Amino acid sequence: MAAADKADAAAAFACAVRAAIDAKTKPVGALGRLETLAAQIAEIQQTLEPLAERCRLTVFAADHGIAAAGVSAYPSEVTRQMVLNFLAGGAAANVIARVLGVEITIVDAGVSGDAIEHPALLSHRIASRTRNAVNEPAMTASQCEQALDAGWKLGNEPGHEVACFGEMGIGNTSSASLVAAKLLGVPVEGLAGPGTGLDDAGLARKRRVLESAAARTPNELKPVQALSEYGGFESVMLAGAMLGAAEAGKLVLVDGFIATVSALAAVRMSSGVKRHLVFAHRSAEPGHGTVLDALDVDPLLDLDMRLGEGTGALLAWPLVQAAATMLRDMASFASAGVSERT
């Protein structure tokens, strides 16, 4: 089909979706953003009877060399400890996923120390941690491509219509701040926040470290360059997973600051990814708003959260289910015999 014909078909289907939503037994627009979400799901799935029955959360974990510079309130060992907590079912993401009936998968993308042996853990280790981005690129170009490819394959896996992606890695708000700064061509200082709970002195130190790291490279970098220079194995894998999920026709629920930076990188690599993304919540991390504005998106929720792990994305899952079910099952004025507005 020619590009013009594809555009015409897409426009015609969008009109059909809008007409179907407007014909439901309610005033036009009365369900607000739920209607917009329903239309997005329908257009991704190319049906007026969309499904949102199966959702998977994949949490990518890895360590960061830049953590050695004192950019976090927690030591690097916490990454490994939290992976074990995820596997034991004790983290916030586990609890929320469990109550919502969401499948959860944990991926070792590069946790420090010996490989963790656990039957429920997926190992896609690139290395035991990234290098310290203050002094050198966080990873080689080859490692970056390896992480993108591993993420793409995981995101592309069948079995669910909706994907959530989370992350765990001490130092990853620093990494994400640097990647965002280089993708947007803005100073890193305004993007860096307290992360895991730094006090004022700790935040000032973190910003000095990040400014030093940012000074190594030009103000603006292409996506793979920015990810190689400053990314984490988990956040690069997350970007690849978004690319793979979009290719598979899935809806992707985007979590907080770190996941949104990965989404920005994914959109810069393939602009068509954006139509598959639903931005779940606005993080309390200060750089998140800047990245959301750059993407020109408005998240569904604002709960003053800054945890990561995919927790915010999970909380948007019931809204996705409600939106899809509304379009699929809600009666129309005609089918219900209800009089329309005169």
d(CA 326, CA 255): 24
Q: How many CA atoms lie within 13 A of 99 on its CB side?
A: 10
Of the candidates 130, 124, 135, which has an alpha carbon nearest to the alpha carbon of residue 112? 130
8 Å CB contact between 89 and 98: yes
Task: Quickly tell me which residue has 């015999």 as its tokens.
Answer: 337
Cα distances (Å, whole numbers) of residue 24 to 28, 49, 207, 306, 338 = 8, 13, 52, 37, 10
Of the candidates 263, 232, 229, which has an alpha carbon nearest to the alpha carbon of residue 169? 232
Of the candidates 213, 238, 264, which has an alpha carbon nearest to the alpha carbon of residue 61? 238
Q: Which residues are catalytic?
A: 309
d(CA 97, CA 166): 12
Q: What residue type is assigned to position 128 of the chain? A: S
